[in-house]
Structure 1
Amino acid sequence: MLHKMTRPILLLALSLMLSACSPEPDVAVSTLGQDHGDSFQQAQQQGRANLTVLYVPAEGFAYTNAAGELTGVSVEIMRDFVRWAERHHRIRLELDFVAETNWQHFYQRVMQGEGGVFGLGNVTITDARKQELQFSPPYMNNVAALITHQDIAELQDWADFPNQFAELEPLAFSGTLHEVRIRRLRDSYQPDLAIQRVTSNPDLLELVASGTFYSYVDAYNYWRARQAGMPLRDHPLAAETDETFGFIMPLNSDWTQFMQAFFAAEGGYRNSASYRQIMQQHLGHELAELLLGHP
């Protein structure tokens, strides 16, 4: 039960943790036209390649640290990929990190990219999205948590939903799978209510903490908000644990097999000491162990 885990971990202030981080000076904020990078075929022929890596700023995953350096779980996994490519395949990769603060724009830009374009945005792997994008193997398992203000009693039975949530309105992060989940709950229990929508996790968490709304959010966002003192509660009855996140690439990308080889090498990247160390360093020991503990 996520809300009962109370051992302290070091966290930044919520305004820094959950808001869009400003990129370091040499990171572009936006680009005009189509994003592109070198193909894997070019990399094999030349022994080097320049890759464009779009990312959605998010504390713990892709953020600027106190030294002004871009880092985080997703960023450091990509850097491990670079080191592996050079060490084992003698291919030198240069990563051009590009910030995109709007998740939907980020998704569209990767879809429309050409060649060596990668996206780091905690994108859930689904069959529908596989028709639009290519995915790396999963780099992390996710837990989707249904959250309310902490004064709402924990939901023990779905039959209690209409009464316990009677004073709450449905709220969703536009364009995500969480919106699908919220729509499903609304349709089942509150068909006459309109779904309110936001385009950022900070806005979503603030509105839920106001006591007016319920919503779904990724477990790591809920965890950090709780540790920062926001008056929130999760409802484990409604948790969904079968999601995985992957890096995304355009359908025309020829980098997928090489990325698969990286994740499979040396017993599996997610079984490596480097991966565990990255998770713990950027998410904190407890949160990392929570996410690592899901198969």
Structure 2
Amino acid sequence: MLQKLTLPCLLIMLSLFLAACSPEPVVSLSPLGQDRGDSFQQAQQQGQASLTVLYVPAEGFAYTNAAGELTGVSVEIMRDFARWAERHHRIRLQLNFVEETNWQHFYQRVMQAEGGVFGLGNVTITEARKQELQFSPPYMNNVAALITHQDVAELQDWADFPSQFAELEPLAFSGTLHEVRIRRLRDSYQPGLAIQRVTSNPDLLELVASGAFYSYVDAYNYWRARQAGMPLRDHPLAAETDETFGFIMPLNSDWSQFMQAFFAAEGGYRHTASYRQIMQQHLGQELAELLLGHE
């Protein structure tokens, strides 16, 4: 005969069943979720903080090395920030790095985040984006390069664009400032022609190397692609050198002033030996000197 179960026993069994059926906790949120981190006010009060650091994988900037460790220019600058906070302000920062491969999702996640959340995605600082996000001081000057297949003759005069690029289609990394540049070129020289779009730099470089497209790309991506043997050419006439990259934070973040203090310390972080060493180690001597020369 089955023993009659009391109400407390039933409740215990139900709780055990639900626990067994519950999914594993999710470490990172979906693009539509909300990422969170401790506020700077909490960090001051407690002497420590847990920060969420979203990053878009990018060779040289946020990548996994041969030892399986996350590293790169952006990652190591954030680690220098954490060391500075502990050394000079006795605030211990735990950096929780979270990968987001889609750049547009990455941008939206930081916009929608709460508190101590930082984004490392080589985001160009613009006045329009300052209405949506907070930026750190610039951590690097960027050069935007117009690229084609190497068989296309170097553009010497804008008047030659229609003839030299007549067989090429415009291609853009969707959602970036490069898309704005490509649209401007298309509207000026190839009105009505559709712009093809991609969501990653590797896809963009492969398509341009096929010989059918032209596009804008950050100089470091072009440089590395050339070193890897891709048949590409840049057109210095069209290069744009007046933009800078910054780390991004949600508008509700109170970490901005502390991040500004870090970049201003010791005569300016970008003038330190640590910064130069990080650039050279992860980008290579030649490329690092090219980018450092545009400061």
TM-score, length basis structure 1: 0.90
User: Is 1:31 aligned to residue 29 of structure 2?
Assistant: yes
Query: In the alignment, what sits opposite 2:17?
Result: none
Matches within 5 A, 1:276-291: 276-291=276-291
Structure 1 counterpart SS, 2:146: strand
Query: In the alignment, what sits opposite 2:247?
Result: 247
Following superposition, the deviation at residue 31 of structure 1 comes to: 1.9
Cα deviation 1:39-79 (Å, max 9, x = unaligned)? 00000000000000000011100000010100000000000
Q: Following the alignment from structure 2 to structure 1, what is the Cα–Cα distance between the partners of residues 175 and 208?
A: 18
Query: In the alignment, what sits opposite 1:238?
Result: 238
Are the equivalent residues in 2 in contact too, given 1:111–1:251 (CA < 8 A)? yes
Q: Following the alignment from structure 1 to structure 2, what is the Cα–Cα distance between the partners of residues 266 and 124?
A: 25
Q: Percent identity?
A: 92
Are the equivalent residues in 2 in contact too, given 1:171–1:213 (CA < 8 A)? yes
Following superposition, the deviation at residue 83 of structure 1 comes to: 0.3
Cα deviation 1:107-163 (Å, max 9, x = unaligned)? 000000000000000000000000000000000000000000000000000000000
Cα deviation 1:70-117 (Å, max 9, x = unaligned)? 000000000000000000000000000000000000000000000000
Matches within 5 A, 1:116-131: 116-131=116-131
User: CA 1:169–1:29 in 2, change beyond 3 Å: closer, same or farther?
Assistant: farther
Larger radius of gyration: 2
Are the equivalent residues in 2 in contact too, given 1:143–1:241 (CA < 8 A)? yes
Query: In the alignment, what sits opposite 1:180?
Result: 180
Give the counterpart letter for 1:217 in structure 2. Answer: V
Matches within 5 A, 1:24-103: 30-32=28-30, 33-103=33-103
Are the equivalent residues in 2 in contact too, given 1:61–1:74 (CA < 8 A)? yes
Q: Following the alignment from structure 1 to structure 2, what is the Cα–Cα distance between the partners of residues 29 and 189?
A: 47
Are the equivalent residues in 1 in contact too, given 2:35–2:110 (CA < 8 A)? yes
Are the equivalent residues in 2 in contact too, given 1:29–1:100 (CA < 8 A)? no
Following superposition, the deviation at residue 276 of structure 1 comes to: 0.2
Cα deviation 1:16-59 (Å, max 9, x = unaligned)? xxxxxxxxxxxx88424310000000000000000000000111
Count of matched residue positions in the alignment of Structure 1 and Structure 2 = 268
Structure 1 counterpart SS, 2:188: helix
Q: Following the alignment from structure 2 to structure 1, what is the Cα–Cα distance between the partners of residues 157 and 59?
A: 34
Gaps of 5+ in 1: 1-27
Between the two structures, name the one with larger relative contact order (CA 8 Å, sep ≥ 6): 1
User: CA 1:29–1:146 in 2, change beyond 3 Å: closer, same or farther?
Assistant: farther
Are the equivalent residues in 1 in contact too, given 2:125–2:243 (CA < 8 A)? yes
What is the Cα-based RMSD across aligned positions, in Å?
0.9
Q: Following the alignment from structure 1 to structure 2, what is the Cα–Cα distance between the partners of residues 58 and 169?
A: 26
Structure 1 counterpart SS, 2:41: helix
Structure 2 counterpart SS, 1:214: strand
Are the equivalent residues in 2 in contact too, given 1:29–1:99 (CA < 8 A)? no
TM-score, length basis structure 2: 0.90
Give the counterpart letter for 1:129 in structure 2. Answer: R
Give the counterpart letter for 2:198 in structure 1. Answer: V
Query: In the alignment, what sits opposite 2:268?
Result: 268
User: Is 1:189 aligned to residue 189 of structure 2?
Assistant: yes
Give the counterpart letter for 1:148 in structure 2. Answer: T
Give the counterpart letter for 1:202 in structure 2. Answer: P
Greater mean alpha carbon deviation, residues 28-37 or residues 105-114? 28-37
Structure 2 counterpart SS, 1:121: strand
Q: Following the alignment from structure 1 to structure 2, what is the Cα–Cα distance between the partners of residues 52 and 228?
A: 33
Following superposition, the deviation at residue 192 of structure 1 comes to: 2.3
Are the equivalent residues in 1 in contact too, given 2:123–2:245 (CA < 8 A)? yes
